[in-house]
Amino acid sequence: MSIDKYSVLIVEDKAEIASRINSAVGQTNELEVCGIAGDVDTGLKFLFELKPRIVLVDLGLPDGSGVEVINAISKSDWKCDALVISIFGDEARVIEALQAGARGYLLKSGSLQSIGDDVKSVIEGGSPISPQIARHLLEMVRMSGVSQDKDAVVIELTARETEILNAVAKGYKRREIGDKLGISTGTVGNHINNIYQKLNVGSNTEAVAQATRMGIL
């Protein structure tokens, strides 16, 4: 494996889908697939043997849940992030995966051709989520009935930051936001980092949830 490439482990039991993901990742110069596992046990074995930078993990595996792999990733002693690619988009599974430490959540019903960009987004600090999941999370927050305390510190985002956060909530990637607003991907990243600092969060999902609780979105 080339030392200048980020290693990617795929944990997916459907051979056809694993092949499609493998092909999509392979088309991204900065990435290289280091292994493919079809179940939890093999996924955990490869995780500690290969020490990948990113793990693309399905949740419904023959011998258990991909959340077991995500939990192991969260406790790893090297830099490693999990990105869920699943057919399941129900509330319980989404919450369980995110609480376990997944940095993003994509549905298989979407296009898998952009997986390489999604992986790079995670490496750059982003949290790619499918539009359906983003809307689902927003609705979950709204339905929670959590209201902002009257004495809470008022946090203000600039018009541009609010515009970018709205785009993030709709599932747009940094590159797509940059193209949409006519600014560079790096500038989008700077704005997102500022948003993280203001809201005291560390991911897109947390930023959207926090901003919704505070009435910013």
pLDDT tens-digit map of 141-189 = 666 554 444 445 567 889 899 999 989 888 888 899 999 999 998 899 8
Do residues 18 and 33 lie in contact, with contact meaning Cβ atoms separated by under 8 Å? no
Do residues 57 and 83 lie in contact, with contact meaning Cβ atoms separated by under 8 Å? yes
The full DSSP string for 75-91 is T-SS--EEEEEES---H
Q: What are phi and psi of 83, to 5 degrees?
A: -125, 120
What CATH number should be reported for the domain holding residue 68?
A: 3.40.50.2300
pLDDT at position 173 is 87
Same domain for 100 and 124, yes or no, is yes
pLDDT at position 37 is 97
What is the extent of the structural domain holding 19?
Answer: 6-128
Same domain for 16 and 119, yes or no, is yes
Q: What are phi and psi of 186, to 5 degrees?
A: -65, -40
Same domain for 88 and 18, yes or no, is yes
Same domain for 80 and 155, yes or no, is no
Q: What is the pTM of this model?
A: 0.66
- Write down which residue in 128, 163, 185 finishes a domain: 128
Same domain for 152 and 113, yes or no, is no
pLDDT at position 150 is 43
Q: Does 1 map to a domain?
A: no
Which of the residues in the chain have pLDDT under 50?
1-2, 146-151
Same domain for 15 and 108, yes or no, is yes
The residues that bridge with 81 in the sheet, in sequence order, are: 54
> Of the candidates 98, 101, 54, 102, which has an alpha carbon nearest to the alpha carbon of residue 80?
54
> Of the candidates 194, 191, 169, which has an alpha carbon nearest to the alpha carbon of residue 178?
191
